[in-house]
């Protein structure tokens, strides 16, 4: 998304600050809001809709994560830079431990970068400052909250409630939304300082 390649006319190189690609190696095993918490919020006291509510809960959680650019639960990610800058930004805060930094040469051979050749800076929003240039760089790291902020849980519950109650009802007016998220859920995230796109 933020990657820039060789200039087609000038042949000059534009180095990358943001990664060209990021994938999840270890998916989330749960949602920050449990099924029982969701049912209590929805005031659902039987098990008839458990499968539907569970699926909707996963979808709404992904929707909120996409909106704020954060992982609500722990997972492992790997990001790839081609022609990285000497300072690169790790996506999807909060970023925990940097597991490995690997150089990939032009032949595709991978070599671990010595920890003395780079410095990790920042708290939950991390950057890596490199002391030498690299052809391509692959960084494996832990991301996501171990304890999800209440503002995010509240936004998930609010959005879940709106989508659950308005399902399959064509007579309901369209919900007002910003980038696919309801105004009510967005207000909770903005109030919690979680409205930035941290990609």
Non-local (6+) Cβ contacts of 57 within 8 A are 31, 33, 35, 38, 156, 160
d(CA 143, CA 152): 16
Do 144 and 72 touch, CB atoms closer than 8 A?
yes
The CATH label, of 3.40.50.920, 1.10.3720.10, 1.20.1090.10, 1.10.3230.30, for the domain at 29-72+148-191 is 1.10.3230.30
Non-local (6+) Cβ contacts of 195 within 8 A are 68, 186, 189
16-17-20 Cα angle (round to 5): 55
The ranges assigned to domains in the chain are: 29-72+148-191, 75-143
Q: pLDDT 10s per residue in the chain (199 long)?
A: 444 444 445 555 578 888 999 999 998 889 999 999 999 999 999 999 999 999 999 999 999 998 888 999 999 999 999 999 899 999 988 999 999 999 999 999 999 999 999 999 999 899 999 999 899 999 999 999 999 999 999 999 999 998 898 775 555 555 555 556 777 787 778 766 666 544 3
């Amino acid at each position: 998304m933020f990657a820039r390649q060789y200039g087609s006319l000038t042949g000059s190189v534009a180095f990358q600050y943001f990664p060209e690609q990021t994938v999840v190696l270890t998916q989330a095993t749960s949602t920050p809001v449990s099924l029982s918490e969701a049912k209590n919020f929805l005031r659902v006291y039987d098990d008839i809709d458990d499968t539907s509510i569970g699926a909707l809960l996963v979808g709404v959680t992904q929707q909120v994560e996409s909106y704020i650019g954060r992982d609500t639960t722990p997972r492992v990610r790997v990001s790839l830079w081609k022609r990285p800058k000497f300072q690169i930004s790790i996506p999807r805060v909060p970023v925990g431990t940097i597991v490995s930094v690997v150089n990939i040469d032009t032949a595709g051979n991978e070599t671990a970068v010595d920890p003395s050749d780079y410095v990790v800076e920042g708290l939950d929003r991390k950057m890596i400052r490199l002391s030498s240039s690299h052809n391509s760089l692959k960084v494996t790291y832990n991301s996501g909250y171990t304890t999800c902020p209440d503002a995010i849980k509240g936004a998930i519950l609010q959005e879940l409630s709106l989508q659950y109650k308005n399902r399959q009802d064509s007579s309901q007016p369209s919900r007002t939304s910003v980038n696919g998220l309801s105004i009510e859920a967005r207000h909770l995230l903005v109030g919690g300082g979680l409205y930035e796109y941290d990609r």
